């Protein structure tokens, strides 16, 4: 894999929006490297991709298991001029982008879990970690994306939740180069659409793919736990939770399936 090969496969939106592509054989974390580069003054829109990570990071401080060539581990740095509160829905746009890219490459039956997991048969296939960074009054978002391609039995056993990989979904998974470029193409296209039109054009796409929509769920956010029925997301990307006290928009937390009935 090299930068020129990747650039030859990028669509117009991605080619215009990505200034630099950096490829590592091994790194601690592509997100950590992207954040370091912003702080050191390298503020171009760039992609950091690695064959393996020694300290891959997921949401809520979790580790992202990243064996060599067993998945795609990438971070896209992009400057944004919109206000910070308008960036909330970016996690959802990123998850939609990953799902659409994988579907384009033959992965069927994929679903989304709010705010940004891509699932197959309720097992996690892809995880996303977005981090906001400021430098010299400019605002940057680092989009960290991990997609499992072929995990070993040992790797599967080391992960404390149900996960899967493309090898179990597609009879002939795409090469890492093709997968990476399709992810960048789809993400760049959708980010441009989001900057121009906001989340409203993504609302229906998310709700058609949401695995828990119209199901009873629990949301854990710190010490706070809410139970209700998921009604999908609104035009801002907030999760709408039907509770005994009415509909509540939720902007943060982790979703779990609930077997408990709603409180009276």
pLDDT at 223: 81
Collect all residues with Cβ–Cβ distance below 8 Å to 112 and sequence separation of at least 6.
92, 95, 96, 99, 118, 119, 206, 209, 210, 211
Q: Looking at the domain covering 216-257, what would its CATH class be? A: mainly beta
Collect all residues with Cβ–Cβ distance below 8 Å to 256 and sequence separation of at least 6.
217, 218, 219, 220
Q: If pLDDT is split at 50, 70 and 90, which confidence band does 131 have?
A: very high
Q: Which pLDDT tens digit goes with each residue over 68-103?
A: 878 899 999 999 987 777 778 999 999 999 999 999
Considering the chain, what percentage of its residues have pLDDT values greater than 90?
70
Lowest-confidence segment of 44-48, 131-135, 143-147 by average pLDDT: 131-135
- At residue 211, the 3 state secondary structure works out as coil
Collect all residues with Cβ–Cβ distance below 8 Å to 185 and sequence separation of at least 6.
9, 10, 11, 13, 14, 101
pLDDT at 261 over 50: no
Considering the chain, what percentage of its residues have pLDDT values greater than 70?
94
Q: What is the DSSP string of 111-151?
A: EEETTTEEEETTEEEEEEEEEEEEETTEEEEEEEEEEES--
Q: Are 37 and 29 in contact (CB under 8 A)?
A: no
More confident residue, 245 or 118: 118
Q: Within 13 Å and on the Cβ side, how many CA atoms surround 154? A: 3
Q: Which pLDDT tens digit goes with each residue over 22-33?
A: 999 999 999 999
pLDDT at 59: 64
Chain centre distance of CA 62? 14
Q: Which pLDDT tens digit goes with each residue over 187-243?
A: 999 999 999 999 989 999 999 999 999 999 999 888 888 999 999 999 999 999 999
pLDDT at 264 over 50: no
pLDDT at 263: 39
pTM for the complete prediction?
0.93
Return the number of other C-beta atoms located less than 10 Å from residue 233's C-beta. Answer: 25
What residue has token string 């206000």? 83
pLDDT at 54 over 90: no
Return the number of other C-beta atoms located less than 10 Å from residue 244's C-beta. Answer: 9
pLDDT at 136: 85
pLDDT at 155: 77
- At residue 73, the 3 state secondary structure works out as strand
Give the CATH number of domain 3-209.
Answer: 3.30.930.10
pLDDT at 160 over 70: yes
Closest residue by Cα to residue 128 from 138, 113, 140: 113
pLDDT at 259: 57
Closest residue by Cα to residue 52 from 35, 34, 32, 28: 28
- At residue 211's C-alpha, the angle toward residues 101 and 237, to 5°, is 75
- At residue 180, the 3 state secondary structure works out as helix
pLDDT at 82: 78
Domain ranges of the chain: 3-209, 216-257
């Amino acid at each position: 894999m090299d930068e020129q090969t990747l650039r030859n496969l990028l669509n117009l939106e991605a080619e215009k929006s990505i200034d630099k592509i950096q490829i590592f054989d091994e790194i601690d974390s592509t997100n950590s490297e992207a954040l370091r580069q912003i702080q050191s003054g390298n503020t171009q829109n760039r992609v950091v991709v690695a064959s393996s990570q020694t300290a891959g990071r997921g949401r809520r401080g979790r580790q992202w298991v990243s064996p060599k060539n067993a998945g795609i581990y990438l971070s896209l740095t992009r400057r944004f001029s919109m206000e910070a509160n308008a960036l909330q829905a970016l996690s959802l746009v990123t998850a939609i982008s990953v799902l659409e890219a994988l579907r384009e490459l033959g992965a069927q039956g994929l679903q989304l879990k709010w705010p940004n997991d891509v699932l197959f048969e309720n097992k996690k296939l892809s995880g996303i970690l977005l981090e906001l960074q400021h430098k010299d009054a400019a605002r940057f978002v680092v989009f960290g994306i991990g997609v499992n391609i072929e995990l070993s039995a040992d790797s599967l056993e080391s992960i404390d939740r149900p996960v899967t990989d493309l090898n179990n979904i597609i009879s002939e998974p795409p090469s890492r180069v093709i997968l990476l470029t399709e992810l960048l193409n789809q993400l760049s296209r959708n980010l441009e659409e989001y900057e121009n039109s906001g989340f409203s054009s993504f609302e229906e796409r998310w709700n058609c793919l949401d695995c828990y929509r119209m199901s009873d769920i629990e949301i854990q956010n710190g010490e706070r736990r809410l139970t209700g029925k998921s009604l999908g997301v609104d035009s801002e990307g907030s999760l709408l939770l039907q509770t005994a006290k009415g509909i509540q928009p939720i902007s943060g937390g982790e979703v779990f399936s609930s077997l408990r009935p709603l409180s009276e």
